Amino acid sequence: MNTQVLSSSFAQQARAFFALTKPRVVSLIVFTAVIGMFLATPGMVPAQTLLAGTLGIFFVAGAAAAVNCLVEQKIDAVMRRTSWRPLPRGELTAQQTLAFAGALGGLGLWTLYRFVNPLTMGLTLATFVGYAIIYTVLLKPATPQNIVIGGASGAMPPVLGWAAVTGEVSIDAMLLFLIIFAWTPPHFWSLALYRTEDYAKAGVPMLPVTHGKAYTRLQVLFYTVVLLAVSLLPFVIRMSGLLYLAAALVLGSVFLAYAFGIYRAYSDALARKTFRYSIVYLAALFAALLVDHYL
C-alpha cells in the first residue's frame, strides 16, 4: 500500500514539474526551431544537431516557462485561466521550482554547447533572459506594449534552429524571426480581449485593460495586416516558391477575416476562435515553408 501511495505521489509531482514547462507553448517553440534547422540546409539536418538542438532548446524553453510560473505565481492564483498551475495549487514550492528551472536550463545550455555550437547556446541563453527576466519581470507589469517588445524573445526559436545547423545567423533566419514577431501581438491580444477582466483583476497592464477593447481590436487588425505582408517576404526574396505563397495567402486571408470580424462585430467567442486559429496559422505557415523547401 505504501509503495502505491509513493508511486502515486511521485507521478503527481512529475506531472506538476512537467506542467511548469508549459508544454503546449513550448511545443510550438520547438516546432518552429526545428523548421528553422531544416530550412537552413538544402539537405537533411545531421542527426546529432537535430536531436541535441531540439532537446537543448526544449530544456531551456521549459526552464524559462518555469521561471515565468515562479515570478507570476500570485498573478496566476488570481486569474481563472492560470489558477490551475502547480504553484498556485500548492503542488510545488518556490524552492523546488527554482531548482528545477536551474537544473533544466543548465542541462539545456550544456547540451547546446557540447553537441551543437557555442553560438546557438549563447543565443538560447539570451532568449531565456529576454523571456524570463526582461519580459516577465520588467515589461509585463510595466507597459501595455509588453507583448510587442517582449515578442522578440518569442520570435527567436527559428533563428536558434538556423544557427544550430549553420553556425551563423542569416537574413533568411531573421525573416523567420520577423514573421513570428509580427504574429505575436494579434495572437496574444486576441486572448487578452476575452480575458480582460482576468488581467484587470490581476493588475496586469495588458492593452485592453489600459486602452480599452476598441483600441485593442484595431491593433489586432493592424498587426494582422502587417503579418500578412511580412509572411509574403520569403517568396519575394526567393526563399520559397509558389506553394508557400499560396499557403501564406490563404492562411493570412483567413486570419485577416477573423481580425476584421473582431474589429467590426466583437464577441468573446470570436476572439477565442481567433486566438485558437492563430496557433494553427503559425504551425501551418511554417509547415508550408518546410514542404516548399524540399519540393
Structural domains in the chain, sorted by start: 13-168 (1.10.357.140), 170-295 (1.20.120)
* Residues 6 or more apart in contact with residue 268 via CB below 8 angstroms: 193, 194
Q: What is the pLDDT of residue 3?
A: 61
- How far apart are the C-alpha atoms of 5 and 9, rounded to whole Å? 6
Nearest-angstrom CA–CA distance, 252 and 283: 12
How far apart (Å, rounded) are the C-alpha atoms in residues 193 and 211? 11
* pLDDT for the residue 7: 60
pLDDT of residue 61: 96
Walking along the chain (295 residues) 10 residues at a time, the average pLDDT comes out as: 61 90 94 97 95 98 95 89 89 94 97 98 96 88 85 93 97 96 96 93 91 96 98 96 98 98 96 97 97 94
Q: Count, in order, helices (H) and strands (E) of the chain.
A: 15, 0
* CA–CA gap between residue 25 and residue 180 (Å, rounded): 14
pLDDT at site 12: 85
Q: What is the pLDDT of residue 79?
A: 87
Identity of the residue numbered 84: W
pLDDT value, residue 8 = 62
Pairwise CA distance, residues 156 & 160, whole Å:
6
Q: What is the pLDDT of residue 80?
A: 84
* H or E segment and range at residue 217: helix 213-231
**For position 24, what pLDDT does the model report?**
92
Residue 58 · residue 45 · CB < 8 Å: no
Give DSSP secondary structure letters for 67-134. HHHHHTHHHHHH-TTTTTSTTTTTSS-HHHHHHHHHHHHHHHHHHHHHHT-HHHHHHHHHHHIIIIII
Instruction: Give the cell for residue 63.
Output: 526552464
**Cα Rg, the chain, nearest whole Å:** 20
Nearest by Cα to 128 from 66, 172, 76, 183: 66
276: Cβ–Cβ under 8 A, 6 or more apart, which residues? none
C-alpha cell at 139: 515589461
